[in-house]
Amino acid sequence: MSLQQQITTHIVKQSLRASFKFTSTLPLPVSALRTGMELGASLFPVNQQVGVNGTVIGGVAAELVSSQPKAKQVILHCHGGAFFTGSAKTHRALASDLSVLSGADVYMLDYRLAPEHPYPAAVDDAYSAYMALLDKGYQAQQIILAGDSGGCAHILNLALRLPEKGQDLPAALVMISPFVDLTLSMPSVVRHKRVDPMVTAHALKRGADAYRGQIAANDKRVSPLFADLTGLPPLLIQVGEQEILLDDALALERKARAAGVEVTCEVYESMWHNFQMFSQFVHKADFALQQIGQFVKRYA
């Protein structure tokens, strides 16, 4: 990493500590946290090579982000936000980069959030959107499920639900900083609590508790890390070396590999939770997104 990149990365981390991480520890109402995340999203420029259109897919609000006409593939993405914040708007820039680098259309879902809509609302929305894509004429092998943070739990639960409903699985899954174990019991949650510049266990637990309701945190319905992952399509996991969810991602890799799933797990040195959203500032984030684009193209 060049000196300039070291300085830029340091500035981004310190900015996150002073804003996102500190704010997430305060007893602010959910509405304030959501508004703050929306405002913060304005810092991330949308790739000018894409068109962004509000739409409804399977009865679920979404944004359709397209970088080329008649794309062969489609990415169905569930955004992060610890189950109770985030939106298609907060992840619009990420969607634009994913579309440009993969050549696929991206549906960024505005699924229902906790605490107003606990489990299984978000998974139901993702399932409805997936079925709508099939109704539009997409084959399952043209669909990539993607998610970041808590959105990874939704797409993993969706992938597990599909065979139960007699539906074909998508071509592959992409998971950015997966939050798929609501127990928050992995060692890195404590080991990295100071070094992680962005995420706190307090914020994740607040969202997880709102999402799971009366369901136990280790129940596979809300923590799909504990589910049987046999039969899943190829999986790409990306995680930052410094984030508190590092061990969660590594556990998911081990669990999936033991179940016979084809897994690629990339750990990025000195990076943090959802660092890919900072691709305009950090070269490693841009490289990671390029890797996702290549992974998606592999299944074209």
> What are the tens digits of pLDDT across the range 242-271?
999 999 999 999 999 999 999 999 999 999
Give CA–CA dist 44/5, Å, rounded: 18
Give CA–CA dist 37/250, Å, rounded: 28
Per-residue pLDDT tens over the stretch 138-162: 999 999 999 999 999 999 999 999 9
Give CA–CA dist 96/240, Å, rounded: 21
Report the percentage of the chain scoring pLDDT > 70.
Answer: 100
Structural domains of the chain ordered from first start: 3-297 (3.40.50.1820)
* 243 counts as catalytic: yes
Q: Which of 63, 243, 253, 279 is catalytic?
A: 243
Residues 6+ apart with CB under 8 A from 42: none
Residues pairing with 75 in the sheet? 106, 144
* 116 counts as catalytic: no
pLDDT band for position 11 (cuts 50, 70, 90): confident
Across the range 162-182, mean pLDDT stands at 98
By the 8 A CB rule, do 125 and 109 touch?
yes
Give CA–CA dist 190/188, Å, rounded: 5
Collapse the DSSP code of 202 into the 3-class scheme (helix H, G, I; strand E, B; otherwise coil) and give the result.
Answer: helix
Neighbour count for residue 102 (Cβ, 10 Å): 28
By the 8 A CB rule, do 260 and 235 touch?
no
Is the model more confident about 15 or about 184? Answer: 184
Per-residue pLDDT tens over the stretch 272-296: 999 999 998 899 999 999 999 999 9
Whether residue 193 has pLDDT greater than 90: yes
Q: Which of 67, 102, 149, 188 is catalytic?
A: 149
